[in-house]
Structure 1
Amino acid sequence: KLRLRGEAMVRDIADVDMAAASHALDAAGQDIKQAVLVAMGVATNEAHRLLEIHGENLSDAMRAVQRGG
């Protein structure tokens, strides 16, 4: 049940299908914030680094990805 909720969150935030959300969640070790960034095409280690740089603020990290850095 929690897994499905996490997948739905990643799907909605990253605007991807459920399969991509599930894959991203697996790659990110079930971390929702990292999974969103992974679903956006960011490597797992880079997703972790972006979240650290942006104080765990997902919106800021997503904006950085959209800006290309």
Structure 2
Amino acid sequence: MPNDLRKADFKKHLNYSETTYQRRMKEFKKSPYKAGYKAVTAKEIWIDLDLYSKFRDWYATNSLKVKKDDGAA
């Protein structure tokens, strides 16, 4: 687990507020990289930094496509 961080450490590492964390995790858990979110218990959450980094790259590429497609309807 060297690339896994607990929720608090993850938020601190990326300087995320609770609101930003919640918004990002909502998308992360719906993505192909959802295995990077590990809820051991309701209060013990681990996030795989490698998978989260891949998710951010994927999301940056795909969010533009989604927004563009939404406006075409």
TM-score bucket (shorter structure): 0.3 to 0.5
Larger Rg over CA atoms: 2
Q: What TM-score comes out, normalization by structure 1 length? A: 0.37
Task: Determine which structure has the larger helix proportion and give its number.
Answer: 1
**Larger RCO (CA under 8 A, 6+ residues apart):** 2
